[in-house]
Each structure stands twice: as structure tokens, then as C-alpha cells.
Amino acid sequence: MSSRFAALKGVEDILPPDSYLRQFIEDKARSVFGSYGFGEIKTPIIEHTDLFLRSIGETSDIVSKEMYTFTDKGGRSITLRPEGTASVVRAYVEHSLAMRPSPQKFYYMGPMFRYERPQKGRQRQFYQIGVEAFGVAEARMDAEVILMLMLHLDRIGLEDLSLELNSIGCGECRPAFKEALRDFFAPKLPELCPDCQRRFETNPLRILDCKVERCIEIRKDAPLVTDYLCGNCRSHFDSLLKLLGVMGVKYTLNPHMVRGLDYYTRTTFEVTTENLGAQKAVAAGGRYDGLVEEFGGPATPAIGFAMGVERLAALLKDKAAPPITDFFVASLGEEAATQALKLASGLRAEGIRGELGYGGSLKSQLRKAGKLGARFAIIIGEDELKSGLLKWKDLKKGESGEVPLAGARKLFA
Ligand code: ATP
Ligand code: MG
């Protein structure tokens, strides 16, 4: 008995025409990021598990419940990457990129893996497009990175998005804020979810990111991180807000947004939409000024973001246009089929896109040409072979005519 396989839960095949939409989103990213001087970096999909423990943080949801971790045949603990930043920072340190002229700017695109509950806009394998910029502490770099993100979202045709901004401070101001959070949550501890009771001990900041209804309710009046920023963090944030104002970027301040990864410092941001149901965030990012040093490199300020490609694609669903088919060659008989192959190959070599008819009558092949939305149908039957004149039809304009085999190229002038 034969058995049929199905893809795993929470992962999916991306078929044409959906893959055209993915390509469109990626192509625009390459062109926009290229105009900002970012170069593509391709990092491995598997890494040492420790890389993610050290960067994303052991108390984060990702590390504590969502990682695909396994032991390889050499006994190493390996994890499928749940996000891109940790690998890029590892590569930055491993290849001593701090020795290259600053800033160093990268983008990546590819699949990420998180063992989450699959639902609309939330898969176990999902694609991110992300960027990382190393070496500049100035708020102007934060502004550049945010402008670049907004330009990409604009270029792919997304509207009605909102940009939410916050600053979550640095190693200097964070301890006082954590203390304030502990003071606030201590009397409410029994009412918090078990996860948050643990977070209270390990990292009270994480309580602010909990998705449990009751915890959201309890934290409504929690202290705001922006009230605890040190002078340097405050003036960094003020500079950024001023620059975004000058550039006409609309934003909302969200002092409750702490983000789910431990490595963030200072600026954090999310781009959200009201058109996707519960999964609102299409992109998110922030500064991580301490991570390069944490990975053994020189102290290097850095900032980045990642977009969720499935969520972008869902918003653009109706805009997936497959590329245009320029021609379709229908043929009858072996000799004509060979001539059709020759003709099509010559046209394709010049960048003209087209297909050959396979099997069936000329009529059924022409129906296929219509279904494909081909611009020209070219016919090679017995008569055409004898006369050396091919019949063509412009399926868009309804015109038709004849052209010598060697002159077919002219149809596409
Ligand atoms: P969320 O709050 O939706 O779980 P997150 O804070 O975990 O998002 P990040 O780690 O910042 O997300 O990843 C950046 C973007 O990647 C998100 O804004 C989202 O668009 C996308 N993303 C994250 N997790 C998933 C997933 N499981 N499936 C699809 N897209 C995802
Ligand atoms: Mg998440």
C-alpha cells in the first residue's frame, strides 16, 4: 500500500503564483536596501544552540519554548535559527568585520523556525527579511533604518500601517526600571500567570510582553520605561523623534512595547496593521548596542529589524501577478515540433518569455495559449513548414498575420 506524505504542521509549500509575490517583495527589498548601501549576507540555518541562549535570552519565549533544538551525530546541540540577528552578529565577530570601514550594513532573507501554535500569520517555518547596521551610535542611523523600512513597505504598495516607537534604555538605566517593575508587581504576584511569576524573578521586563489577558490587565498601570531613561538614552530618543519629525515620518509612542528578545537597548519599534486580525506586527526591530561585545567582539553599537514575509504577502494577496508570457508556439507533427523548439529557444535567448505547446490538436494548444494569457500565439503546422511562413495571432489585440520563420523576432520589437 502506498502512503501519501503531507508537509509538517505549521510549515508550507509556496507555489506559483504565490511565489511571484514573494519574489516581488524580495526584489523590492534588494533594490531599496541596495540604495541605502546594505549588502546581502547569507548565514547558515543551523547554529550552536548557545548562540541563541546568549543573545535572545533564556527567559524569552523563543528560547524557553519555541526553539527547534536537536543533537547532531557528533553530539553537539544544534538549533534551527529562530531569528536572524544572532547569526549576523556571530558572523560580524567571527570575520572581524569591525576592522572594515564603519558602518557595516547587511540584509538577509530566509526561513526562520519557531515551535509556536500555528494560526493565521503564525507558522513554525516562516520567512523574514531583515537588516543589521553596525558601528554607529548616532540617532541618525536609527532614522535611516526606519526610513529604509518604511520605503520598502511603501514600494511594495502597503498602506494603513502604523509605526510604534519606544526606547527601553540601556544597561545604566535598566536596573532602576526593573526594580520599579518588581515593586509594582510584587503585591500582584499571585494574580499573574505562572510564566510571569517566573519572569518576576528572572526578568520582570518580560511580564510587559506577556500575551495572557489577565496579565495585560494587571500591568495597565505598570511603570513606564520612558520615565526611567538615563540622560544619554533620553537625548538619543529625543534626537530620533526630532529626525523622524523632520523627515515627515508618522509614528505613535508606545511606552509599553518592550519586544520579546533580551538583546535590545534604546530604540525599539514595530510596524503594525489592523488588517491581519490578531497577528498585527509586520516588522519589528531595535538597537542592540551590547550584543557584539557579548559575543566577544569590540564594543559596537548596532541596530536592525526583521519583517515577516508571510504577513506582508497576506496583505498583498490580490497583487500576485505572474510574469507575462510573450509567446506560445503551437505545432503539429515531429518536424514542426522541432522547428517550434528552435524558434522558442532563439526568442528566449533574447529575453523573450514563452512556452511550447505539448500534444493535442492545434486548437487545444491554442486554448492553452489563451489560458496562459500569452500575448502572441505562433502556429507551425504542415502548411507553415512548406511555405516557411508562420501564422501568428496577437491574442490581446485580436490581430493576426504571417511572418517568415527567420523574422519572428520582429513581432516583439
Ligand atoms: P509576534 O509578537 O507576532 O510573535 P515577534 O515579536 O515574536 O512577533 P520578531 O521576533 O520581532 O517577532 O520577528 C519580526 C517579525 O517576524 C514579526 O513582526 C512578524 O511579522 C514575523 N514573525 C515572527 N514570528 C512569526 C511566526 N511564527 N510566523 C510568521 N511570522 C512571524
Ligand atoms: Mg513571537
pLDDT tens, position by position, 303-338: 999 999 999 999 998 777 778 899 999 999 999 999
Average predicted confidence (pLDDT) for the chain: 95
pTM reported for the whole predicted model? 0.93
> Pick from 315, 339, 356: which residue ends a domain?
315
Position 223 in a domain:
no
Distance, in Å, from the CA atom of 151 to the CA atom of 131, rounded to the nearest integer, reads: 14
Q: What is the pLDDT of residue 52?
A: 97
| Strand residue runs (E) in 46-195 | 46-48, 68-71, 77-80, 104-113, 125-134, 161-167
- Model confidence at 209: pLDDT above 70: yes
- pLDDT tens-digit profile of 268-288? 999 999 999 889 999 999 999
- What is the rounded average pLDDT of the residues 139-165? 97
| Ligand 1 pocket test target in 126, 127, 161, 287 with most atoms within 8 Å of CB | 126
The ligand with the least distance to the CA atom of 284 is: 1
In a domain, 260, yes or no: yes
The pLDDT of residue 136: 98
Q: Where are the beta strands (DSSP E) in 228-347?
A: 252-253, 265-273, 281-287, 302-308, 327-331
**Which of 115, 122, 256 for a ligand 1 pocket mutation test, highest count of atoms within 8 Å of Cβ?**
122
Question: Dihedrals φ, ψ of 255, to 5°?
Answer: -70, -5
- Residue of 136, 126, 128 lying closest to 36 (CA atoms): 136
- Is residue 382 domain-shared with residue 238, that is, in the same domain? no
Task: Indicate if 374 and 279 belong to the same structural domain.
Answer: no
Same domain, 303 and 339: no
Do 291 and 407 fall into the same domain?
Answer: no
Flag whether 215 is in a domain. no
Residues 242 and 339 in one domain: no
Q: Are residues 237 and 362 in the same domain?
A: no
For residue 121, the ligand 1 atom closest to its alpha carbon is 29
Q: How many domains does the chain have?
A: 2
Q: Which atom belonging to ligand 1 lies closest to the Cα atom of 130?
A: 14
pLDDT of the residue at 260:
76
Q: Is residue 190 assigned to a domain?
A: no
Whether ligand 1 lies within 6 angstroms of the CB of 276 is answered as no
Residue-number span of the structural domain to which 282 is assigned: 18-173+229-315
The residue whose CA has the least distance to atom 5 of ligand 1 is 260
Contact 149, 271 (CB under 8 A): yes
pLDDT at 3 > cutoff 90: no
Pair 270, 334 in one domain: no
Instruction: Kindly identify the ligand whose nearest atom is closest to the C-alpha of 312.
Output: 1
Examine the domain organization and report whether 341 and 246 are in the same domain. Answer: no
**Which ligand sits closest to the CA of 85?**
1
Q: What Cα–Cα distance (Å) separates residue 338 from each residue in 23, 162, 254, 366?
A: 33, 56, 66, 18
Which phi and psi (to 5°) does residue 18 adopt? -60, -35
Do residues 277 and 137 share a domain? yes
Q: Atom 29 of ligand 1 has which residue's CA nearest to it? A: 122
CA 260 / ligand 2 centre spacing (Å): 7
393 sits in which H/E element = strand 389-394
Q: Strand, coil or helix: what is 106? A: strand
In terms of pLDDT, which residue wins out, 277 or 128? 128
Answer yes or no: is 40 within a domain: yes
**Do 361 and 311 fall within a single domain?**
no
Q: Residue 340: its pLDDT value, please? A: 96
Task: CATH number of the domain at 401, please.
Answer: 3.40.50.800
- The domain that holds 71 is classified in CATH as 3.30.930.10
Is the pLDDT at 38 greater than 80, yes or no? yes
CA dist., res. 46 & res. 62, Å (int): 16
Q: In the listed set 315, 348, 381, which residue is the last one of a domain according to the structure?
A: 315
Q: How far, in Å, CA of 392 to CA of 259, rounded?
A: 60
- The verdict on residue 187 lying in a domain is no
| pLDDT(9) > 90 | yes
Q: Is the pLDDT of residue 1 over 60?
A: no
Q: Which of 271, 293, 315 is the last residue of a domain?
A: 315
Cα(111) to ligand 1 centroid in Å equals: 12
**Residue 152 neighbours by CB under 8 Å, 6+ apart:** 28, 29, 32, 33, 307
Contact 147, 23 (CB under 8 A): no
Question: Coil, strand or helix: which one is 327?
Answer: strand
Residues 108 and 128 in one domain: yes
The amino acid occupying position 243 is L
252-253 vs 125-134, strand pairing mode: unpaired
Residue 97, φ and ψ in degrees, nearest 5: -70, -15
Residues 82 and 165 in one domain: yes
Per DSSP, which regions of 135-264 are E strands? 161-167, 252-253
Residue 396 — very low, low, confident or very high, per pLDDT cuts 50/70/90?
A: very high
pLDDT digits (tens, 9 = 90+) for 98-116: 999 999 999 999 999 999 9
